[in-house]
Amino acid sequence: MDVLKFIKDLKKRDHKPKFGALEIFKYIGPGFLVTVGFIDPGNWASNIAAGANFGYSLLWMITLSTVMLIILQHNVAHLGIASGLCLSEAATIYLKPWASRSILSTAVMASVSTALAELLGGAIALNMLFAIPIKIGALIILITVLFMLFSNSYRKLEKWIIGFVSIIGLSFIYELTLVDVDWGNAITGWLKPTFPDHSMLILMSVLGAVVMPHNLFLHSEIIQSRQWNKEKEAVIDKQMKYEFYDTLLSMFVGWAINSAMILLAAATFFKHNTNVTELQQAKEMLTPMLGKSAAVVFAIALLFAGISSCITAGMAGGSIFAGFWGEPYDIKDNHTKTGVIATLVLAFAVILLISNPFYGLLLSQLALSIQLPFTIFLQIYLTSSKKVMGKYANIKSTIVILVIIGAIVSFLNIKLFISMIL
């Protein structure tokens, strides 16, 4: 019996994926955990404000942000596959301590800012559905998320989150069937960059809500759940190929849902010249325009968005914090536990001090966009290093593209600060 057990174990270690026509479905999942991060309540606030105030004219930022996101997430996933390290671990190992700790500290704060938006969004949804006060609702979401994180395995969480994303997507498909979208203006909005007066804050919020620093850390960690014989180059090459399909599909779903939010707001609130200052108000205004069922579906989708994205924010915070000690994410490890709890509890503590939840959502996305350049250039440095990546280090053309993306993000941040000063 011992010999048979040894042979079975040996076969498991030597198992190779077949990569057949249906094999790709075994690799679908990590991208969707990233996707929930950019269809979170912070996105809802930013996208609804964009559509309500500027119609279809800011849809181009969703397109640009998603293209940048695909490139960045695909690149950071390569780090996890090729090196076996997440972004946080690699920073600790390959950077000087003062540099890694400085960047990772801001990344933890970005995760807290993200969790703030997720808890608020879930609490707002509970308020819409059951009239539960925001702060009590945030506590309910906090307890729910901590329970799910500490009682479920990663693969179970992945399945739950794919289900949540599906519910959110179907909800917006239903909502869009009820409104009259100006598709001509929508197509123009997706493709033509414009900067309407007083739009810079919302533009930056949309950018921060799509390209999110904590997602870059998270993707490099969770992609490793799909590794097979990572020491074999042929298997790594195939895994990178299938990772790209997972990322592309997931990011497209996120682009469609984010676009749907702006389309819905433009076809209802902007069309009727209605200013929206909070998500509760959006739900109340949808009732006379589209009916009670549309408003309830809106709130349910927001609740699922808040819970699922709060889970990934907590995972990201745990992964980054564990990286301070050069460790991977492991919910049974004390460093990971501390990171998860600190991220979510600190976010809840900030909520207790916020008087305007909707404005808090916008500012949380702004904080993410300000931290984002540091994470992007950290990623470029690590994925371009042959010491870290070996033969899978970025080629020159990839480095140029990544640097351009980093420059665009930095430029938009500078424009934001100038607009705030003036």
Residue 5, pLDDT above cutoff 60: no
Res. 225: pLDDT tops 70: no
Query: If pLDDT is split at 50, 70 and 90, which confidence band does 271 have?
Result: confident
pLDDT at position 417 is: 60
Q: Give residue 15's pLDDT.
A: 40
- Mean pLDDT on 78-105: 93
- Give the CA distances from residue 245 to residues 112, 220, 238, in Å, rounded to whole numbers and listed in that order: 30, 16, 11
In whole numbers, what is the pLDDT of the chain averaged over residues? 83
pLDDT of residue 1: 44
Model confidence at 401: pLDDT above 90: yes
**Residue 178 DSSP SS3:** coil
Structural domain boundaries of the chain?
29-421
Q: pLDDT tens, 94-122?
A: 999 999 999 999 999 989 988 998 898 89
Look at residue 293 and tell me whether its pLDDT is greater than 90: no
Please give the pLDDT value at position 163: 86
Which of 62-66, 278-282, 322-326, 383-387 has the weakest average pLDDT? 278-282
Q: Does 355 score more than 60 pLDDT?
A: yes
Give the residue, 27 or 414, on which the prediction is more confident.
414
Confidence grade of residue 361 (pLDDT, cut at 50, 70, 90): low
Tens of pLDDT, residue by residue over 176-185, are 988 899 999 9
Residue 376 has a CB neighbour count (10 Å cut-off) of 25
Distance CA 245, CA 243 (A): 5
State residue 199's pLDDT score.
Answer: 85
pLDDT score for 323 = 93
Which CATH number describes the domain made up of 29-421? 1.20.1740.10
Confidence of residue 6 (pLDDT cuts 50, 70, 90): very low
Three-class secondary structure assignment of the chain = CHHHHHHHHHHHHHCCCCCCCCHHHHHCCHHHHHHHHCCCHHHHHHHHHHHHHHCCCCHHHHHHHHHHHHHHHHHHHHHHHHHCCCHHHHHHHHCCHHHHHHHHHHHHHHHHHHHHHHHHHHHHHHHHHHCCCHHHHHHHHHHHHHHHHHHCCHHHHHHHHHHHHHHHHHHHHHHHCCCCCCHHHHHHHHHCCCCCCCCHHHHHHHHHHHCCHHHHHHHHHHHHHHCCCCCCHHHHHHHHHHHHHHHHHHHHHHHHHHHHHHHHHHHHHHCCCCCCCCHHHHHHHHHHHHCHHHHHHHHHHHHHHHHHHHHHHHHHHHHHHHHCCCCCCCCCCHHHHHHHHHHHHHHHHHHCCCCCHHHHHHHHHHHHHHHHHHHHHHHHHHHCCHHHHHHHCCCHHHHHHHHHHHHHHHHHHHHHHHHHHC
At 7 the pLDDT is 35
